[in-house]
């Protein structure tokens, strides 16, 4: 990378995950391999075939700590609540204070890109009933500011007084990683010095229903919730739905050094593309060539070789697409067997948090790079035979791997619409 | 319904929309909901919806636009509550 290019580093992390609320609990959960998947009565009541999921429980105390009394009363959208809380945690983690009131000036140098997939079911449901009953006048103000997809960024931006670009991206299950790269590009182009990036999704039957109807959710583990999400396993039978949020504060290396911020990792860059829904690609399945080009493009952009990848945080959802994803990684990196990088899937603990997945998994990747560990990929003891032919079993950790000296983790996310994102994180060693 | 009772109920309706609770201490007839209590104007509609529910009345747009001070709000609510009984 030429010296005159702006480098972008990560200085803050925040997370609301089905297995942990907040960073310290999340690190512990990763180390312990703690599952956040449980039986959800509301799915059974609504006749879902899949009755398990990953649903974070945020306490009223936490909400009251970070939201004003008015917001506590008005906020019904879990995706907005989760996304805002993750963003605020990342902001404080980065060493900044949350303004106590609105008397401060806008922070013109800082913006936010918090992505999401669908508006929260609570909002949609209320709008639907009231409007259909002819009661539109009873909707009130929350119908708009929480119904709009950019609601999460609007709420976060308002609390912090962000004065740079405040927006929301959407690219299905690639949303979170895409948000990080979008923010990265904005800083790199010199248009912002700092961005809060990430994504959120409501853990909500209204978000999950379509997937249940498509039969892509597992329906075999209602009586063993923690065994349901089994990425890379021969007995994987569909994904387990989840929700939550992840957020990162990213900034130019210059501003981070200037203010003496602790740096958790560097974003070397990445790549975003689409397989065009051609070849093996469709609305719901990736074109393998597109995935391989996405990964190779990320390596080219970052000017690193495939051999420098120490570990992969896969998309790996616990569906029949897992072997295909591994094949694509092997082809793109030209590595297999014992030479294949370490690989795991956080979805084995928290299910597939859809639009929030890429951000939560990126928070995990950065924590692990900084702290030097690599979490277990749960429920993968019976490795899928096609995967076993490509990846040596030792590279899929059944237990926590401690004392790693991983330098580079590649994080990928793939989404409906045949969209792909691959991002490259590097450990920070004061260089 | 007595004016005092309506005022008390209105105070609890308004309360959640006021971030600085100390502003509620000196509330009187002339208190301006937006300026004195620093209520976000977007929430006036929410307060009116809450009042409709609590008092079981309907507040039309013309009346709603006048509900900017405590005195006016109480007057408009009292008119409708007492018209029903």
Instruction: Name the band, by pLDDT with cuts 50, 70 and 90, for residue A386.
Output: very high
Res A431: pLDDT? 59
- The verdict on A74 touching B (C-beta cutoff 8 Å) is yes
C-alpha distances (whole Å) from B20 to each of A46, A124, B11, B37, B85 are 41, 31, 14, 8, 36
Q: What distance in Å separates the CA atoms of residue A408 and residue A374, rounded to the nearest whole number?
A: 12
Task: Give the residue on B whose Cα is nearest the Cα of A71.
Answer: B17
* Confidence at B83, pLDDT banded by 50, 70, 90: confident
pLDDT in tens, A342-357: 999 999 999 999 999 9
Judged by average pLDDT, the poorest of A272-281, A367-376, B18-27, B44-53 is B18-27
Q: Which of A137, A138, A141 sits opposite B43 (nearest CB)?
A: A141
Q: What are phi and psi of B32, to 5 degrees?
A: -90, 125
The alpha carbon of residue B49 is apart from the nearest alpha carbon of chain A, in Å, by 6
Q: Looking at the complex, report in whole angstroms how far the Cα of residue A37 sits from the nearest Cα belonging to chain B.
A: 35
Please check whether residue A64 touches B, CB under 8 A.
Answer: no
Cβ within 8 Å, pair B46-A140: yes
Residue range B4-18: mean pLDDT, rounded: 93
pLDDT digits (tens, 9 = 90+) for A108-148: 999 999 999 988 888 888 899 999 999 999 999 889 999 99
For the segment A15-24, the average pLDDT, to the nearest whole number, is 98
Q: Is A142 on the interface with B (CB under 8 A)?
A: yes
Contacts of A138 in chain B (CB under 8 A): 49
Task: Say if the Cβ atoms of B17 and A138 lie within 8 Å.
Answer: no
The residue-averaged pLDDT of A226-250 equals: 98
Of A70, A73, A140, nearest to B49 by CB-CB distance is A140
User: Would you tell me how many other CB atoms lie within 10 Å of the CB of residue A67?
Assistant: 19
Q: Does the distance separating the beta carbons of B45 and A70 come in below 8 Å?
A: no
Q: What is the pLDDT of residue A430?
A: 72
* ipTM, 2 dp: 0.82
Q: How confident is the model at residue A2, as a pLDDT?
A: 40
CA A132 – CA A415 distance, rounded (Å): 33
> Between helices A357-371 and A175-188, what is the axis angle to 10°?
70
Average pLDDT of span B1-15: 92
Inter-residue contact A116 to A147 (CB < 8 Å): no
- State the Cα–Cα distance between residues B18 and B26, nearest whole angstrom: 13
CA distance A237 to A240: 9
Q: What was the pLDDT predicted at A4?
A: 54
Measured CA angle at A100 (ends A99, A104), to 5 deg: 50
According to the model, what pLDDT value does residue A392 have? 98
The two structure tokens encoding residue B61: 């747009």
Distance, C-alpha A284 to centroid of its chain: 19
| A chain contacts of residue B16, beta-carbon cutoff 8 Å | 69-70, 73
Taking an 8 Å cut-off on Cβ atoms, the answer to whether B45 and A73 are in contact is no
Burial class (CB in 10 A: 0-12, 13-18, 19+), A118: buried
Best mutation target, A141, A148, A151, to test chain B (most B CBs within 10 A)? A141
Q: Cβ of A278 under 8 Å from any chain B Cβ? A: no
Q: For residues B19 and A394, which has the higher predicted lDDT (pLDDT)?
A: A394
pLDDT band at A51 (very low <50, low <70, confident <90, very high): very high
Rounded CA-CA distance A142/B73 in Å is: 22
Helices (H), B15-58: 44-55
Distance CA B2, CA A202 (A): 45
Q: Note the pLDDT of residue A429.
A: 87
Band of pLDDT at residue B19, cut at 50, 70 and 90:
confident
Q: Residue A3 pLDDT more than 80?
A: no
According to DSSP, the β-strands at A265-274 and A419-426 are: antiparallel
How close B42 comes to chain A (CA, Å)? 6
**pLDDT, tens digit, 9 for 90 and up, residues A287-304:** 999 999 999 999 999 999
CB A37 within 8 A of CB A18: yes
Whole-prediction pTM: 0.95
The pairing of beta strand A110-116 with beta strand A166-167: parallel
Q: CB contact, 8 Å: A213 with chain B? A: no
């Amino acid at each position: 990378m030429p010296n005159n290019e702006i480098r972008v580093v990560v200085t803050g992390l925040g997370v609301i995950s089905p297995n942990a609320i907040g960073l310290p609990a999340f690190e512990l959960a990763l180390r312990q391999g703690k599952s956040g998947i449980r039986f959800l009565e509301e799915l059974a009541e609504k006749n879902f075939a899949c009755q398990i999921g990953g649903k974070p429980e945020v306490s009223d105390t936490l909400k009251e700590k970070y939201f004003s009394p008015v917001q506590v009363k008005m906020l019904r959208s879990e995706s907005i609540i989760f996304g805002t809380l993750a963003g605020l945690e990342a902001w404080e983690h980065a060493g900044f204070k949350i303004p106590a009131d609105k008397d401060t000036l806008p922070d013109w140098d800082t913006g936010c890109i918090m992505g999401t997939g669908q508006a929260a079911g609570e909002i949609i449901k209320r709008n639907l009933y009231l409007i259909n009953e002819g009661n539109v006048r009873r909707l009130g103000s929350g119908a708009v500011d929480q119904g709009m997809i950019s609601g999460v960024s609007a709420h976060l931006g308002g609390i912090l007084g962000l004065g740079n670009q405040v927006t929301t991206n959407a690219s299905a299950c690639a949303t979170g990683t895409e948000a990080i790269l979008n923010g990265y590009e904005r800083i790199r182009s010199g248009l912002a010095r700092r961005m809060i990036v990430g994504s959120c999704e409501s853990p909500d039957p209204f978000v999950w229903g379509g997937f249940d109807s498509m039969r892509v959710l597992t329906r075999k583990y209602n009586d063993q919730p923690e065994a349901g999400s089994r990425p890379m396993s021969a007995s994987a039978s569909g994904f387990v739905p989840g929700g939550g949020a992840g957020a990162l504060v990213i900034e130019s290396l210059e501003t981070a050094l200037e203010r003496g911020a602790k740096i958790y990792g560097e974003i070397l860059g990445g790549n975003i593309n689409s397989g065009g829904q051609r070849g093996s690609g469709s609305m719901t399945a990736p074109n393998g060539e597109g995935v391989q080009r996405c990964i190779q493009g990320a390596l080219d952009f970052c000017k690193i070789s495939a051999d420098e990848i120490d570990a992969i945080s896969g998309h790996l959802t616990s569906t029949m697409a897992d072997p295909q994803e591994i094949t694509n990684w092997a082809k793109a990196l030209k590595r297999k067997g014992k030479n294949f990088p370490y690989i795991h899937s956080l979805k084995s603990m928290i299910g597939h948090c859809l639009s929030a997945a890429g951000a939560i998994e990126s928070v995990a990747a950065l924590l692990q790079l900084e702290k030097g560990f690599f979490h277990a990929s749960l429920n993968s003891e019976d490795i899928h035979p096609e995967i076993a032919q490509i990846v040596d079993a030792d590279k899929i950790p059944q237990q926590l791997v401690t004392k790693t000296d991983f330098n580079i983790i590649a994080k990928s996310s793939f989404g409906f619409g045949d969209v792909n994102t691959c991002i490259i994180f590097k450990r920070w060693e004061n260089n | 319904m007595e004016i005092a009772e309506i005022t008390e109920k209105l105070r609890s309706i308004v309360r959640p929309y006021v971030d600085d609770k100390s502003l509620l201490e000196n509330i009187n007839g002339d208190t301006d909901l937006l300026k004195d209590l620093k209520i976000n104007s977007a929430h006036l509609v929410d307060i009116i919806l809450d009042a409709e529910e609590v008092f079981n009345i309907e507040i039309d747009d013309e009346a709603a636009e006048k509900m900017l001070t405590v005195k006016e709000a109480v007057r408009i609510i009292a008119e409708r509550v007492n018209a029903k009984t």
